[in-house]
Amino acid sequence: MEWLSNNGILYGTYSLFSEHRNKLFHGVFTRQGGVSRDPFASLNAGFHVGDEEACVNKNQKKIAKVANSILMSPRQVHGTHVHIVKKSMEDISKVEADSIITNIPGISLMILTADCQAILLYDPIKKVIANVHAGWRGSIQNILEKTMVILKNQFDCIPETIFAAIGPSLGPCCAEFKHYKTEIPKKFWTYQYKENYFDFWKISQDQLINMGIKPEHTEIAGFCTVCYPELFYSYRAKQITGRFATVIGILE
């Protein structure tokens, strides 16, 4: 990832999208540069974690200023519903969805995480974007496949032209599932990094490739949220903590 700073806001970008920077904004915002206090310090973008509403509002305004667009974020529920944003002024804050898609310029789709994956999808031919929230439940239910089906059926996207980036999240080093035999279907057991530890980065990448996305069109950030507490929030590490934002928007 390439790290950028804007008025004290630190965020990462993917090399995968570098040639599209004139048409696409994207950023994995760290926890740095906001106004929230411990245990949410400092750029917490989540209203639902116990932080002061005024602080979250200020933090989201900071993120929106960097993105130079309107932020749209659904109510994430660890499900597999995919929502299509069809209006530039649509309020989706109460829409229960874990994947959002749009082809409307001037808005940014925002997913909030603290160990789960935020996976960005971009089709430069059809000018369509998606932002997918994939926790371990979403991964084993293959929310990526559900998103891809909608991209193909409703936007005429071709998998071979789509680019996909898998964000900072719980890495195989820390993704321990002591009760995996009752939580994770057997077909995923081959993804054990070591006993009881799973590589969900690889699971997502394989799901994308199995749907026709070229391997060279995928990128894994490679940052474990537990191992980089100075950059990211981690629910596994702290339980009571904030949520960092991953944003993508079409510029033109």
Task: Look up the CATH number of the domain holding residue 126.
Answer: 3.60.140.10
Determine contact, residues 35/42, Cβ cutoff 8 Å: yes
**192-194 vs 197-198, strand pairing mode:** antiparallel
DSSP assignment letter at 167: P
pLDDT digits (tens, 9 = 90+) for 99-144: 999 999 999 999 999 999 999 999 999 999 999 999 999 999 999 9
Contact 37, 49 (CB under 8 A): no
Do the Cβ atoms of 151 and 157 come closer than 8 Å? yes
- DSSP three-state, residue 69: coil
Whether omega for the bond prior to residue 39 falls within 30 degrees of 0, making it cis, is yes
**Which residues have C-beta within 8 Å of that of residue 186, sequence separation ≥ 6?**
none
Whether 194 shows a pLDDT value over 80: the answer reads yes
**Domain span holding position 147:** 2-250
Confidence of residue 238 (pLDDT cuts 50, 70, 90): very high
Q: Supply the pTM of this predicted model.
A: 0.95
Angle between helices 143-155 and 200-210 (to 10 degrees): 30
C-beta of residue 222 within 8 angstroms of C-beta of residue 172? no
What is the distance between the alpha carbons of residues 163 and 177, in angstroms, rounded to a whole number? 30
- C-alpha 220: how far from chain center: 12
Q: What's the structural domain count of the chain?
A: 1
